A and B are shown apart, each in its own frame.
Chain A
Amino acid sequence: MQNNRLASLLKEAVLTFVISLILFGPISGLVLDGFGFRNELGRSVTLAAIITAGRVLVSLAGMSEIGKRLRSRLTSSNSGVTVNTGQERSPLLPLAVLFLAGLALPFFADKYFLGIAILALIYCLLGLGLNIVVGLAGLLDLGFVAFYAVGAYLLALGYQYLGLGFWSALVIAPFLAGLFGMVLAFPVLKMHGDYLAIVTLGFGEIIRLVLNNWLEFTGGPNGAPVPAPTLFGLEFTRTAKQGGVPIHEFLGISYSGDYKFWFIYVVLFLVVCAVIYAVHRLRVMPLGRMWEALREDEIACRSLGVNHVFTKLSAFMLGASTGGIAGVFFAVHQGFVNPTSFTFFESALILAIVVLGGLGSTVGVVLAAIVLTILPELLRDFAEYRVLVFGILMVVMMIWKPRGLVRLTRPAFFPSSHSEAGIALRLEPQTEAGR
């Protein structure tokens, strides 16, 4: 038995070494030198040896008691969905603490960290929006960034041509983005799966290309400036530029560029909380249930009288609206927009957030958004390898947690006390508790 294990360990180590040698050989073993190349195979051998050692260590750890327990825990939670028992403790207290902590963050964080936090919240919004479309309604959308761009450019161009401010853009953006969502959704609703993904991918690119090439209207690759936000006519700039009063003069304090970011953070935080609440409610509402039912089985839905076209349309529009709101915040945070912010990579990143968080799980999406924004910041030193680490993370996730970081739960429903079934249940409480 012991021998057997050792042999398999050895086999694994040799296999790992060979594969990594094949991979690293050309990548780091051959160095371009003018028109020829130098041979530095020693480097790739070292790299392969490091990887092999790591593989052996992982295997050894997996054989130990702790490793075994860890592994069984990781794999057993794969089963996916569970139904609540209806006796869970209300998470109100921890949520309230989180809410207050989130609101108080600007007082503790420096400007750099606040910037990351704003970005993380923007991705939260995007993830929540896409989660409605992909996670709940099951429509794969690869062009979600288009609605993000619509929101961002609404503020930039609206200011330029119509004199819209931050607040009016914030109100108009969900409707405009929803309208764009409807325009996209109408022709594509008959499609399923891969076809839908390709069409939405195309739509995302169309929006970006239009923004890039319509020089007279959008400013093309040069982008467009975005006004700073205001609060009841108070401005966050050193001198008033939009006909208001600078906030530091109004309050009689000294000027700091941070005020603007504090303001954006607080408003964004409140909006994210509102959206989280709405999405959370949606999951137990008839509309949200219909989306999920549509994801599970469209034909069965039609047999139950669900209008599948309008249901899909509503998912698309609500998802797009959320993306539009995120766009407004992105624009006002950056102070400038141009088409390079809205590439396909951005769509893929948002999709990664949704998949990583677990399709359909609100908590998971929020966590994944935070992880995927903070991770690149922590990896600044390895900027070159960022995408590689990303890829490895995704592969590992798909192997061990294919259903996402957070396990899905479904709400429990009980009959009201005055109905017949409710009385029957009350008489036999032990059958329910026995489950």
Chain B
Amino acid sequence: MKTPILEVQNVTMRFGGIVANRDVSFAAERGAITALIGPNGAGKTTIFNCITGFYRASEGRILLNGRNGPQDIGQLMTRPITGGSHLVTRAGIARTFQNIRLFKEMSVVENLLVAQHLATRNNLLSGVFRTRAYRAAETEAVDRAYFWLSQMNLASDANRLAGELPYGRQRRLEIARAMCTSPALICLDEPAAGLNPSETRELSEVIQRLCAEHDLSVLVIEHDMGLVMRIADHIVVLDHGEVISDGTPDSVANDPAVIAAYLGVSEEEVTA
């Protein structure tokens, strides 16, 4: 069996006295789509922020088996002076946001170029004097940006302001931008929120294509059950900060605990 791309081991997250996640463990398979679902307030986004390096988990470990072997996300964040969530992205986890966070007053291409800052020449002097290496790196970065734009059907919008784009296109642009960091795992936080049915269908095709053609693993939080059941290979259900079910879409859909969490249980069943 292949090693999973991401292993979440006994993660507990506390904010003061509030426990947002208790003893959460799951794994995301390599090259597959893992969905994280649960009712509102179940702690999905909290665990997401732990994985992408925006929170430091209070207890437990999160391991990324990326290109450079296993790496502990928590350690990357607490590394002295240079540590921080940006290292998590450099290790190979990219993310999008629930409420879109684009650089609205920059053009679409520039949004993607910022994401490639590790590949471009950041040296001050090489840029001011336009050295050959600088120009080559810039051309390559622009070409890669256009590649991802055409993958997301956004190429015609390349030189528009990101803030001017319609909502659905902004969502796709955010995914394209995350892809420009050349991640091993991409984490999508409610990518279908606010999309109409046809846009949702287009999105699910995009996600499946990323997974199949670009050797990518996807972790997705989503409330749209139609989308989740259609694309996910593996579903993890959270409720009240704990994992209540973990398995294939079919087994999760028929799990009484999941049905109880979503639909509630009648009083007789509780007392019984």
Q: Tell me whether A and B are bound partners.
A: yes
Query: What is A's interface to B at a CB cutoff of 8 Å?
Result: 80-86, 277-278, 281-282, 285-287, 289-290, 292-293, 296-297, 299-309, 318, 408, 410-416, 419-422, 424-425, 431-432, 435
> Is A304's CB under 8 angstroms from B106's CB?
no
A80, A285, A286, A293: which has the most chain B beta carbons within 10 Å?
Answer: A286
B contact residues around A82 at 8 Å (CB): 161
> Is B142's CB under 8 angstroms from A416's CB?
yes
CB < 8 Å neighbour of B120 from A282, A286, A415: A286
Q: Which chain A residue has the least Cβ–Cβ distance from B114?
A: A293
Query: What is B's interface to A at a CB cutoff of 8 Å?
Result: 52, 54, 82, 84-87, 89-90, 94-95, 97, 101-107, 109-111, 113-115, 117-118, 120-122, 124, 127-128, 130, 139, 142-143, 145-147, 149-150, 155-156, 158-161, 177-178, 181
CA distance A212 to B150 in the complex (A): 61
CA distance A2 to B73 in the complex (A): 72
Can you add 14 more A-B contacts, CB < 8 Å, to A81-B161, A304-B94, A318-B124? A83-B159, A83-B161, A289-B113, A290-B122, A293-B111, A303-B54, A303-B97, A411-B110, A414-B159, A419-B147, A420-B147, A420-B150, A421-B155, A425-B155
User: What are 23 A-to-B residue pairs whose CB atoms are below 8 Å?
Assistant: A86-B159, A285-B122, A286-B121, A287-B124, A296-B104, A297-B103, A299-B97, A301-B86, A302-B89, A303-B94, A303-B97, A303-B101, A304-B94, A304-B115, A304-B117, A305-B86, A412-B159, A413-B113, A415-B143, A419-B147, A421-B146, A425-B155, A435-B159
Using known A-B contacts A412-B107, A421-B150, determine if residue A307 contacts B86 with beta carbons closer than 8 Å.
yes
A contact residues around B150 at 8 Å (CB): 420-421, 424
B contact residues around A304 at 8 Å (CB): 86, 89, 94, 114-115, 117, 177-178, 181
B contact residues around A422 at 8 Å (CB): 143, 146
Q: Which chain B residue has the least Cβ–Cβ distance from A300?
A: B101
CA distance A241 to B136 in the complex (A): 52
Q: Which chain A residue has the least Cβ–Cβ distance from B109?
A: A413
> Is A293's CB under 8 angstroms from B85's CB?
no
Taking the closest CB of chain B, its distance from the CB of A100, in whole angstroms, is: 23
Taking the closest CB of chain B, its distance from the CB of A134, in whole angstroms, is: 15
> Is A306's CB under 8 angstroms from B142's CB?
no
A contact residues around B158 at 8 Å (CB): 413-414
Taking the closest CB of chain B, its distance from the CB of A162, in whole angstroms, is: 28
B contact residues around A293 at 8 Å (CB): 103, 106, 111, 114
> Is A300's CB under 8 angstroms from B97's CB?
yes
> Is B117's CB under 8 angstroms from A286's CB?
yes
B contact residues around A84 at 8 Å (CB): 159
Q: Which chain A residue has the least Cβ–Cβ distance from B89?
A: A305
Taking the closest CB of chain B, its distance from the CB of A93, in whole angstroms, is: 21
CA distance A281 to B128 in the complex (A): 6
| Top 4 closest pairs, chain A to chain B, by CB | A305-B89, A421-B146, A285-B127, A300-B101
B contact residues around A309 at 8 Å (CB): 84
> Is B128's CB under 8 angstroms from A302's CB?
no
CA distance A85 to B159 in the complex (A): 7
A83, A422, A425: which has the most chain B beta carbons within 10 Å?
Answer: A83
Taking the closest CB of chain A, its distance from the CB of B190, in whole angstroms, is: 15
Using known A-B contacts A278-B128, A281-B128, A289-B114, determine if residue A431 contacts B101 with beta carbons closer than 8 Å.
no
Using known A-B contacts A413-B107, A413-B159, determine if residue A299 contacts B101 with beta carbons closer than 8 Å.
yes
B contact residues around A425 at 8 Å (CB): 155
CA distance A107 to B122 in the complex (A): 42
Using known A-B contacts A289-B114, A303-B85, determine if residue A413 contacts B156 with beta carbons closer than 8 Å.
no
A contact residues around B120 at 8 Å (CB): 286
Taking the closest CB of chain B, its distance from the CB of A109, in whole angstroms, is: 31
Taking the closest CB of chain A, its distance from the CB of B227, in whole angstroms, is: 22
Q: Which chain A residue has the least Cβ–Cβ distance from B141?
A: A286
B contact residues around A419 at 8 Å (CB): 143, 146-147
A contact residues around B89 at 8 Å (CB): 302-305
CA distance A282 to B134 in the complex (A): 13
A84, A304, A425, A432: which has the most chain B beta carbons within 10 Å?
Answer: A304
Using known A-B contacts A289-B110, A410-B110, A421-B155, determine if residue A416 contacts B127 with beta carbons closer than 8 Å.
no
> Is B118's CB under 8 angstroms from A305's CB?
yes
A contact residues around B159 at 8 Å (CB): 83-86, 412-414, 435
CA distance A301 to B101 in the complex (A): 9
> Is B105's CB under 8 angstroms from A303's CB?
no
> Is A297's CB under 8 angstroms from B122's CB?
no
Taking the closest CB of chain A, its distance from the CB of B135, in whole angstroms, is: 10
B contact residues around A432 at 8 Å (CB): 156
A contact residues around B101 at 8 Å (CB): 297, 299-300, 303
